[in-house]
Amino acid sequence: MSDEVGDVAQAVSTGRLPGWDRVEELVQEAHARHRDRAEGAVADYIPVLAEADPRLFGVVVAETSGDLHAAGDADAAFTIQSISKAFVYALVCEAYGHEVVRDRVGVNNTGLPFNSVIAVELNDGHPMNPMVNAGAIATTALLPGGTPDEQWAHLAAGLARFAGRTLEVDPVVYESEAATNQRNRAIARLLESYGRIDADPLEVVDVYTRQCAIRVTARDLAVMGATLADGGVHPVTGERVVSAQVCRDTLAVLAATGMYERSGEWLFEIGVPAKSGVSGGIVAIAPGKGAIGTFSPPIDPAGNSVRGRLATAHLSRTLGLNVFASAAHAADRRTPA
Ligand SMILES: NC(=O)CC[C@H](N)C(=O)O
């Protein structure tokens, strides 16, 4: 029996996975083991992101009980970037429900980079995937509100409920991206040309650019993710942010598409739904248990933080978070020792 399968067997009899008794130590270990990794490069296509300190590295686990465990630069602020897509998606699902969002935005991986224009063309203008730019822009366009300001207010209030605190926009990152986001504007115009966006595309891109510039910490990401893990109830404030069904739908989409064209590899190796952003954040969600928030600016070619991936993999393995591990356990029970 493999260690992991053995851990799950023990968990079934004790009600708690063994790693959780050492969670504090394991978070420190995940940080210490990967602190000195030098692979990856800081994103520079948004000019100001290139100034990020590549040594920053924070790791936080938030349990659905509200207990938090942090190591390293857990409170360093950075812009949420694409991780906003997961939480805005949840807000839009909450407003319109499963069918509407599935039909308008889609739930499949495009298999192409997050800012691909070809992906839109290949699918008759259907964005397909809410976790890449085209789909996220189409999702933001659906936010409740009659004006961009009202839509922004809905978005900002929703993300604040996920975080349990008010989140600010980083004006420098917002300006830097707003001045250089011609590609996202082109994607929005393309969606418009296919009749996939009803609102003014440039106004939608402005709200989208602002949502990407919201400042968070690894601690915020862990807590926001733990709210999804907890069926939509914030583990610290106790507030219901979205319904349990919305969490289920959002986690399914993250599993399929949250790590861009590496989503399959991520699920295969690490086994938890997750979302990353180009500034170096990752949130990984263990349904019913909690979430891991990591931050470290150097990213791989797909746009996923290198140290964040390694730390999340370590914690998923040692805490027994892989959502498919119970299948291994079921098989093991039927195999005579
Ligand atoms: N992958 C990302 O984090 C991309 C977000 C970035 N704001 C963009 O639209 O290009």
CA 114 to ligand 1: nearest atom = 1
313 φ, ψ (degrees, to nearest 5): -60, -40
Mean pLDDT score across all residues of the chain:
92
Helices (H), 145-243: 148-163, 171-178, 182-193, 201-212, 218-229
**CA 325 / ligand 1 centre spacing (Å):** 32
CB environment 276-303: b (16+ within 10 A), e (fewer) = bbbbbbbbbbbbebbbbbbbbbbbbeeb
Residue 62, H or E segment: strand 58-63
Residue 139, H or E segment: helix 133-141
Task: Over range 283-300, report the average pLDDT.
Answer: 97
Q: Which of 94, 76, 78 is nearest to 213 (CA)?
A: 78
Predicted confidence (pLDDT) at residue 307 exceeds the cutoff of 90 = yes
Task: Over range 188-216, report the average pLDDT.
Answer: 96
Does ligand 1 have an atom closer than 6 angstroms to the CB of 81? yes
CA 212 to ligand 1: nearest atom = 7
Tell me how far the alpha carbon of residue 83 is from its chain's centroid: 4
Does ligand 1 have an atom closer than 6 angstroms to the CB of 48? no
Task: Over range 312-323, report the average pLDDT.
Answer: 96
User: Which band of pLDDT confidence, cut at 50, 70 and 90, is reported for residue 21?
Assistant: confident
Q: Residue 62's pLDDT is what?
A: 98
What is the reported pTM? 0.93
Predicted confidence (pLDDT) at residue 43 exceeds the cutoff of 60 = yes
Task: Over range 4-10, report the average pLDDT.
Answer: 53
Give the C-alpha separation, 90 to 78, whole Å.
21
Does ligand 1 have an atom closer than 6 angstroms to the CB of 174? no
pLDDT tens-digit map of 252-278? 999 999 998 899 999 999 999 999 999
Give the C-alpha separation, 131 to 87, whole Å.
10
Q: Which residues form the catalytic set?
A: 82, 85, 208, 260, 278
Does ligand 1 have an atom closer than 6 angstroms to the CB of 305? no
Does ligand 1 have an atom closer than 6 angstroms to the CB of 212? yes
Give the C-alpha separation, 305 to 307, whole Å.
6
45: amino acid identity, one letter: Y
Does ligand 1 have an atom closer than 6 angstroms to the CB of 277? yes
Known binding-site residue numbers:
82, 133, 177, 184, 208, 260, 278
Minimal-distance CA residue to ligand 1 atom 9:
133
Q: Which residue of 46, 110, 214 sits with most ligand 1 atoms within 8 Å of its CB, as the best mutation to test the pocket?
A: 46
Residue 312, H or E segment: helix 306-319
Checking ipTM against 0.90, whether it exceeds it is yes
69 φ, ψ (degrees, to nearest 5): -135, 125
Task: Over range 98-116, report the average pLDDT.
Answer: 91
**CA 5 / ligand 1 centre spacing (Å):** 37
Known binding-site residue numbers for substrate:
82, 133, 177, 184, 208, 260, 278
Predicted confidence (pLDDT) at residue 290 exceeds the cutoff of 50 = yes
Q: Residue 20's pLDDT is what?
A: 84
Q: Residue 1's pLDDT is what?
A: 44
**CA 15 / ligand 1 centre spacing (Å):** 40
**CA 164 / ligand 1 centre spacing (Å):** 24
Minimal-distance CA residue to ligand 1 atom 6:
81
User: Which band of pLDDT confidence, cut at 50, 70 and 90, is reported for residue 6?
Assistant: low
Give the C-alpha separation, 287 to 276, whole Å.
17
Does ligand 1 have an atom closer than 6 angstroms to the CB of 184? yes
Please state, as a whole number, how many other Cβ atoms lie within 10 Å of the Cβ of residue 22: 13
Does ligand 1 have an atom closer than 6 angstroms to the CB of 82? yes
Q: Residue 326's pLDDT is what?
A: 74
Predicted confidence (pLDDT) at residue 328 exceeds the cutoff of 90 = no
Q: What is the DSSP letter of 292?
A: E
pLDDT tens-digit map of 110-169? 989 899 999 999 988 998 999 999 999 999 999 999 999 999 999 999 999 999 999 999
**CA 212 / ligand 1 centre spacing (Å):** 7
Residues 6+ apart with CB under 8 A from 137: 127, 184, 187, 188, 191, 197, 201, 204, 205, 208
